[in-house]
Amino acid sequence: MIIARDKELSALRDCLVSDRSEFVAVYGRRRVGKTFLIREAFDYTFTFQHAGIANGEKQVELQAFADALKDCGMDVDKTPANWMQAFQQLKALLRQAPEGKKIIFLDELSWMWTPGCDLVAAIESFWNGWASGRKDIVLVVCASATSWMMKNIIHAYGGLHNRLTHTIGLVPFSLKECEMYAEAFNLAFSRTQIIEAYMILGGVPYYWSLMNRSYSLPQNIDSLFFDREAPLRDEYRYLYASLFRNPDPYMRVIEALATKKMGMSREEILQHLGESTSGTLSGILEDLEHCGFIRSYRPFGKKKKGALYQLMDCFTLFHFKYIAPQPTDLRYWSHVYTTPICNNWRGLAFERVCLWHTQQIISALGISGLLTDVCSWQCQANEEENQDGAQIDLVIDRGDKQVDLCEMKFCEEEYEIDKKCAEGLSRKKAAFKASTKTRKGLRFTLVSPIGLKRNKYSGLINSVVTADQLFQ
């Protein structure tokens, strides 16, 4: 059963009734469901399918390709010496196929590539010189290595430039889609619990598929991460290794960003890592952003310079907080689930969930039709002016000359503003106005699962966004 993905399914199935040959690239992070989507879309029926071998040498990859041709009934008398020969053999197989659409599925394409090989040139020759001149070919290429796909296929220069007929970037599920998944597989979670699960697993379908409907949420987290045979205990290491041929520099950047909640500038990252990374850092940051692990954004009031890079992947953040210390308690999460340290983490993790759902927040505010800019803000303490430091993780700069200062608070009941909190909000608004010199109207928006408890301080909040609206 496939959950959501209606738009992507429709795009793939339209290829079967097209009056031309189709060249489709599907990309997205590990475990997001790319292979499953493609198999479901074509009902597991392919004229030819092959998956690259992780870390395979060139001859190993070519031998595996030849074996896949044999599995499809091709008489391959010898292993091709290069990819040009391999795709010539593939053309021979396709010429023998019955009339109708011939679907070729090349999975983990980046694994098929080895330094110096002619794979991309062979695909270029296959498509431009043969397949595009027919009406019956559907070539689907797929890879988790998003940066490789971007550089070599999707944004390629040369013969593959603008040759794709469809590009499908598969992103993690939203909260709404996770709820659909939970309902389909009878996971007895409330919306608040789904948000908590999202704080840990993000919207990665494979991670959700590992949960046991007989378990509570804490029991499931223990089973996935802390049990003796926990399937996700070592996932962090495999995750980045599957995406990047040399994962170490990427992981060092991720580890640096994990130390600072609001993110770091390029200069701060270099200071953390050392100047030896300077020449490659821009490419690393671009690759990590393509893969959805980080976001780049500008602080409020910064027009061009001053971009910050922030770690956004919920699973990675949970790894650093709770998995990397290697607790030995097999029921660790069940034991810390209700402790203050875990409650503090929930508050920080909920902010990331909200940042993944900024469009839902904008929609809930009724400003989808306005030009909006999503950013953040922080200021340092200034003793001379008797001003405290402050920060706001989500600022929505609106086209109607209003600015939403978003307070994101995870609470299992209505959030209550007390006197201390009210004073803090007032100081924060004053500091924002003083440091940014903005003339726009400033509004406080509370994002909290259950909403706001009415009292004498609640009038400080102009708008409230609840879990129900995040699930839209």
pLDDT score of 386 more than 60: no
Q: What is the pLDDT of residue 252?
A: 94
C-alpha triplet 451, 449, 399: angle, nearest 5°: 75
Q: Count the alpha carbons within 13 Å of 223 in the hemisphere toward its beta carbon.
A: 14
pLDDT reading at 305 higher than 80? no
Span 47-77, pLDDT tens digits: 999 999 998 999 999 999 999 999 999 988 8
Provide the 8-state DSSP code for 98. Answer: P
Percentage of the chain modeled with pLDDT above 70: 97
pLDDT above 60: residue 385: no
Computed from CA positions of residues 288, 289, 292, 297, in that sequence, does the dihedral angle turn out positive or negative? positive
At 383 the three-state DSSP class reads coil
pLDDT value, residue 328: 94
Q: Within 10 Å of residue 2's Cβ, how many Cβ atoms?
A: 15
Q: 85 or 303: which carries more pLDDT confidence?
A: 85
CB within 8 Å of 138: residues ≥ 6 apart: 15, 16, 21, 22, 24, 101, 102, 103, 104
Q: What is the pLDDT of residues 128-178, one digit of tens each?
A: 999 999 999 999 999 998 889 999 999 998 889 999 999 999 999 999 999
283 vs 364, residue with greater confidence: 364
User: What is the three-class DSSP state of 310?
Assistant: strand
| C-alpha span between 191 and 193 (Å, rounded) | 5
Number of Cβ within 10 Å of residue 265's Cβ equals 15
Nearest to 168 by CA among 24, 382, 312: 24
For residue 382, what pLDDT band results from cuts at 50, 70 and 90?
Answer: low
Output the pLDDT for position 387: 58
- Beta-strand pair 166-169/22-27: parallel
- Rg of the chain taking only CA atoms, in angstroms: 25
Across 186-215, average pLDDT: 97
pLDDT in tens, 93-102: 999 999 999 9
Name the pLDDT band for 276 (thresholds 50, 70, 90). low
279 confidence band (pLDDT: 50, 70, 90) = low
Range in 293-297, 381-385, 424-428 with the lowest mean pLDDT: 381-385
Report, as an integer, the average pLDDT of 352-375: 96
CA distances from 363 to 166, 357, 370, 372, 452 (A): 28, 10, 10, 11, 19
Mean pLDDT of 363-368: 97
Query: Residue 220, Cα to own-chain centre: how many angstroms?
Result: 22
The token pair that represents 293 in the structure block: 């692990």
Average pLDDT score over residue span 278-291: 86
- Span 195-218, average pLDDT: 98
CA-CA distance, 463 to 406, in Å (whole number)? Answer: 9
The share of the chain scoring above pLDDT 90, in percent, equals 84
| pLDDT band with cut points at 50, 70 and 90 for residue 298 | confident
- In terms of Cβ atoms closer than 10 Å to its own Cβ (0-12, 13-18, 19+), residue 98 is exposed
Instruction: Characterize the bridge pairing of strands 294-297 and 308-311.
Output: antiparallel
Q: What is the pLDDT of residue 220?
A: 98
- Write out pLDDT tens, residues 314-329: 999 999 999 999 999 9
DSSP 369: T
Q: Token digits for 350?
A: 């909920």
pLDDT given for residue 311 in this prediction:
96
